[in-house]
């Protein structure tokens, strides 16, 4: 099956810092999403981004499908950004299996 | 606008007991999924359903059964619970080509 690797596994930042999270995948995909799992366990949709670039406030994401990676940028981080960030992908030939990466745990301190 | 609703939110079972986790979505999605998340780990796919009447195994199907009752509802059954099934269970729905949305999760403890 498709492999999804995220880096770094852990990230500790001070409030106001910027960061880049990476998601590598081993096969072509037609669906790629970024999620934030907050400290209460809730999964929050951030981006649906199988290709291209999107921005939403302090967050932006870029997927380069031909090179099989996606990046999530967090600027001016806040303590509320803490939690685990997951990317999830589905292979191009419509397997309907949404497979998650192992996540990046982010801690933002004041 | 409820989205994806899971019941119950919390459950404690004794080893060998059975239970069914319920999931319903109101977004008219074709695809529905069940995942489990163990402490400190990512989500692993248990079963998924690409459309009403079809179900397929995911990464970790052993010990579970599912039913796609209709387009809205997708249930997960544990026939004989084991301590290794202690986990947080998430249901999700999507169209397969757009965003998937997740329920709030069910925290299951098997003692």
Question: DSSP letter string over A35-86?
Answer: EEE-TT--EEEEEE-SSEEEEETTEEEEEEGGGTEEEEEE-S--GGG-EEEE
- What average pLDDT does chain B have? 93
Classify burial at B44, counting beta carbons within 10 Å of its beta carbon; exposed 0-12, middle 13-18, buried 19 or more. middle
3-class secondary-structure state, position B58: coil
Which residues on chain A are in Cβ contact (under 8 Å) with B23? none
Numbered residues of chain B with Cβ closer than 8 Å to any chain A Cβ: 31, 33, 35, 41-45, 48, 50, 56, 58-59, 88, 90, 92, 94, 96-102, 104-105
- Average pLDDT for B40-48: 92
Yes or no: say if A94 and A74 are a contact pair by the CB < 8 Å rule: no
- Does A90 reach chain B within 8 Å, measured CB to CB? yes
pLDDT digits (tens, 9 = 90+) for A19-72: 999 999 999 888 899 999 998 999 999 999 999 999 999 999 999 999 999 999
For residue A25, the distance in angstroms to the closest alpha carbon of chain B comes to: 15
- What average pLDDT does chain A have? 93
- Rounded CA gap, A25 and A87, in Å? 10
Q: Binning pLDDT at 50, 70 and 90, where does residue A95 land?
A: low
3-class secondary-structure state, position B65: strand
Q: Binning pLDDT at 50, 70 and 90, where does residue B69 land?
A: confident
- Average pLDDT for B95-108: 88
Residue B21: beta bridge partners? B76
**CB contact burial A17-55 (16+ within 10 A = b; e otherwise):** eebebebebeeebbbbbbbbbeeeeebeebbbbbeeeee
Yes or no: say if A77 and A13 are a contact pair by the CB < 8 Å rule: yes
B13 pLDDT above the threshold of 90:
yes
- Rounded CA gap, B74 and B1, in Å? 19
Q: Binning pLDDT at 50, 70 and 90, where does residue B45 land?
A: very high
B51 pLDDT above the threshold of 70:
yes
- Does A9 reach chain B within 8 Å, measured CB to CB? no
Can you give the pLDDT at residue A93?
59
Which residues on chain A are in Cβ contact (under 8 Å) with B47? none
- Rounded CA gap, B53 and A83, in Å? 36
B97 pLDDT above the threshold of 80:
no
């Amino acid at each position: 099956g498709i492999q999804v690797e995220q880096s770094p596994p852990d990230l500790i930042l001070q409030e106001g810092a910027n960061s880049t999270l990476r998601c590598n995948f081993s096969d072509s995909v037609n669906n790629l999403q970024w999620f934030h799992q907050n400290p209460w366990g809730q999964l929050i949709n951030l981006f649906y981004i199988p290709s291209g670039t999107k921005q939403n406030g302090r967050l932006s994401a870029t997927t380069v499908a031909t090179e099989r990676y996606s990046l999530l940028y967090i600027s001016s981080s806040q303590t509320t950004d803490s939690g685990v960030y997951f990317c999830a992908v589905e292979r191009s030939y419509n397997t309907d299996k949404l497979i998650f990466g192992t996540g990046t745990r982010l801690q933002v301190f004041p | 606008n409820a989205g994806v609703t899971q019941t119950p939110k919390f459950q404690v079972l004794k080893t060998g007991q059975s239970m069914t986790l319920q999931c319903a979505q109101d977004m008219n999605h074709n695809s529905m999924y069940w995942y489990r998340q163990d402490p400190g780990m990512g989500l692993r796919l248990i079963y998924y359903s690409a459309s009403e009447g079809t179900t397929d195994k995911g990464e970790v199907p052993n010990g579970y059964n599912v039913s796609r009752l209709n387009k809205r509802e997708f249930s997960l059954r544990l026939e004989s619970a084991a301590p290794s099934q202690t986990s947080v269970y998430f249901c999700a729905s999507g169209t397969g080509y757009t965003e998937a949305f997740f329920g709030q999760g069910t925290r299951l403890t098997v003692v």
